Structure 1
Amino acid sequence: MIEPASAVSGSAYLALIAVLLYAVVGKARDVRAFAAAIGGYRLLPGRLTVPAAYLVIAAEVAAAGLLAAPPARRWGAVLAGLLFAAFLTGMASVLSRGLRVACGCFGGDADAVSPRTLLRTGLLLVLAVLAAVAGGTGFSPAHLLFAPLLLAAALLPPALIRSSAPPAPGPRPGDRFVLSAPPAGHPVLYALISPSCGLCSAMLPAFAAAASRMDVVLVGAASEEEVRAYLDGHGVDLPLVIDPGVFEANDIPWPPYAVLTGRDGVVLAAGGAADPVRLTELIDLATDRITG
């Protein structure tokens, strides 16, 4: 007969598999949104957020798969524990810097990094330790009873802590766009780009086409020589402003990003501009505010 303590620790792998697969589904549904959440932590360069998102998803799938196989279960628990430890470190860093960003725990979700997400991740780390200690124990019907209880023990206490949704990163309508160049004195679309951003290269034609509707100014944080060589390589000839602090000053975690301002440099609309449809929506929103 299985000892109760052994049955509890031996059930941890089932609870972990459920959490990991739920997280994978949420992240894989919108990898770009998850990458944006990673960018909000400001621990990685913008060009690495998408590869990091795919790496995390792959690691979570691998951990779930290893946990499902008794001979490899301890390795799956160790991998899951390393993931949770990394998430804890990132969250602690965010809280210590006073940032207000989306957790990204289950994708590009609206749950802000907070003591709540810190506690939840810490309890999941405890589950990983239990699974590692239990190792490749054989399956028992008792596991089906104790696994939901372990899940409840890990997820319910954090749910009792109130948490609010984080504001979307970047400037909001009514804010003043912080830029080294003076306000243009008329409506402008500022397109924030980077030579290391693959999406920026895909969006350059859309930014150039937008110049038929309003003035467009490209903004980069890299050296002027690097950015101009990048634009020349793509055949783009638009006004350029170099401002190394533009992303930090405006709480913008990743390019490509569009900021549309009015005559006095006040933001009319702003947001990620990773596809032409989204850019058109932002321009239409700003136009409505100008004419309204």
Structure 2
Amino acid sequence: MNALVTGVLGSAHLALIAVLLPAAATKARDPRRFASDIAGYRLLPTRLTTPAALLLIAAELAASALLTLPATRRTGALLAGLLFAAFLTAMATVSYRGLRTPCGCFGGSDAVGPRTLLRTGLLLALAAAATAGGAAPFTAAQLLYAPLLLAAALLPPLLVRPAPPPPPGPRPGDRFTVADPAQPRPRPTLYALVSPGCGLCSAMLPAFAAASARLDVVLVSAAHPDDVHAYLDDHDIHLPHLTDPHVFDANAIPWPPYAVLTGPGATVLAAGGTSSPEQLALLLDQAPAPH
């Protein structure tokens, strides 16, 4: 029995690597999206979401590297355990506050809920097993035990009903609700939702400004008007803007940066997150051609 337990614990680091390395690689391919997922947790100031995303990706890669060497395996397992504990705590706060947001776990769209909580808890237990296994020498049996441990961590959550998806935001044909005294606007209008201090929003301001050569662009924020004025002045952006503290809840929009393209009568033509110029370009492609 002791040999079996030792073999199982000694193989846990292989299962952890199989989780952490693909997860980090997926996030590294699109760190902006991962930063947007972190913003959805509403735990950090938006200006810190991009640094936090890069730090977490680096930590997952570091844990994977440390787990490969017997001399540093326990350190890697402890780092992995800290990561999973932090993820689990953040998800628990989201569930407690009744928020609906993507978990950002593996680059997918799973919303935070019972399934993601169970999966993260099992991965935390896997990290604890790897810590207990320490620098166990390699044996051929580990190649059998590691897939079984991986299955034990990832398969049971699939039996749990997933959480409802995050708010979809306005859909084509809906009416966009915003405190705009100029509505209805005669031309297609892009409402760009931003927030002072949001790193992704700041990066997108030049793209929103460039879009104003093609159609009307109005910046919208839920922040205090004085904060918005100072924010735009700091970035030398001169676009029409308005503040509406209810714009996100009224339109089921999760977080900025987000854009809503409207036509006559404030009818939504297209809408979606715009955390990159490429996403904005795809959305603008749905604007009617000028007459």
Q: CA deviation at 1:16?
A: 0.7
Per the alignment, residue 274 of structure 2 pairs with 273
Q: CA deviation at 1:220?
A: 2.5
Per the alignment, residue 88 of structure 2 pairs with 88
Q: For 2:260, what is the secondary structure of its paired residue?
A: strand
Pair 285,196 (structure 1): closer, same or farther in 2 beyond 3 Å: same
Pair 230,90 (structure 1): closer, same or farther in 2 beyond 3 Å: closer
Per the alignment, residue 256 of structure 1 pairs with 257
Q: CA deviation at 1:164?
A: 7.1
Q: For 1:149, what is the secondary structure of its paired residue?
A: helix
Count of residues in correspondence between the two structures: 289
CA deviations 1:121-141 (Å, max 9, x no partner) are 111111111111222222222
Per the alignment, residue 132 of structure 1 pairs with 131
- Provide the rounded CA distance (Å) in 2 between the counterparts of 1:206 and 1:30: 19
2:114–2:163: 8 Å Cα contact kept in structure 1? no
2:115–2:161: 8 Å Cα contact kept in structure 1? yes
Q: CA deviation at 1:34?
A: 1.4
Q: CA deviation at 1:55?
A: 0.9
Per the alignment, residue 228 of structure 2 pairs with 227
Per the alignment, residue 172 of structure 1 pairs with 171
Which deviates further from its counterpart, 144-153 or 41-50? 41-50
1:1-292 superposed matches below 5 A: 3-107=3-107, 109-163=108-162, 166-167=165-166, 169-182=168-181, 184-186=183-185, 187-287=188-288
Pair 202,82 (structure 1): closer, same or farther in 2 beyond 3 Å: closer
1:100–1:113: 8 Å Cα contact kept in structure 2? yes
Q: For 2:286, what is the secondary structure of its paired residue?
A: helix
Pair 233,124 (structure 1): closer, same or farther in 2 beyond 3 Å: closer
- Provide the rounded CA distance (Å) in 2 between the counterparts of 1:230 and 1:95: 32
- Provide the rounded CA distance (Å) in 2 between the counterparts of 1:33 and 1:277: 12
Q: For 1:117, what is the secondary structure of its paired residue?
A: helix
| Unaligned 5+ runs, structure 2 | none
Q: CA deviation at 1:272?
A: 2.1
Which deviates further from its counterpart, 124-133 or 155-164? 155-164
Which deviates further from its counterpart, 165-174 or 147-156? 165-174
Pair 22,93 (structure 1): closer, same or farther in 2 beyond 3 Å: same
- Provide the rounded CA distance (Å) in 2 between the counterparts of 1:282 and 1:154: 39
Q: CA deviation at 1:248?
A: 4.8
1:110–1:165: 8 Å Cα contact kept in structure 2? no
Q: CA deviation at 1:111?
A: 2.1
- Provide the rounded CA distance (Å) in 2 between the counterparts of 1:82 and 1:14: 18
- Provide the rounded CA distance (Å) in 2 between the counterparts of 1:78 and 1:276: 38
Q: TM-score, normalised by structure 2?
A: 0.87
CA deviations 1:88-139 (Å, max 9, x no partner) are 12222222333332221112x1222232222111111111111112222222
Q: CA deviation at 1:199?
A: 4.2
- Provide the rounded CA distance (Å) in 2 between the counterparts of 1:118 and 1:14: 22
Q: CA deviation at 1:263?
A: 3.3
CA deviations 1:33-62 (Å, max 9, x no partner) are 111221222222222221111111111111
Q: For 2:285, what is the secondary structure of its paired residue?
A: helix
* Runs of 4 or more above 6 Å deviation: none
Instruction: Please provide the CA RMSD for this pair.
Output: 2.7
Over the matched positions of the two proteins, sequence identity in percent amounts to: 64
- Provide the rounded CA distance (Å) in 1 between the counterparts of 2:43 and 2:177: 22
Q: What letter is aligned with 2:191?
A: Y
Q: For 1:120, what is the secondary structure of its paired residue?
A: helix
Q: What letter is aligned with 1:48?
A: L
- Provide the rounded CA distance (Å) in 2 between the counterparts of 1:51 and 1:179: 31
| Unaligned 5+ runs, structure 1 | none
Pair 57,255 (structure 1): closer, same or farther in 2 beyond 3 Å: same
Q: For 2:100, what is the secondary structure of its paired residue?
A: coil
- Provide the rounded CA distance (Å) in 1 between the counterparts of 2:92 and 2:45: 19
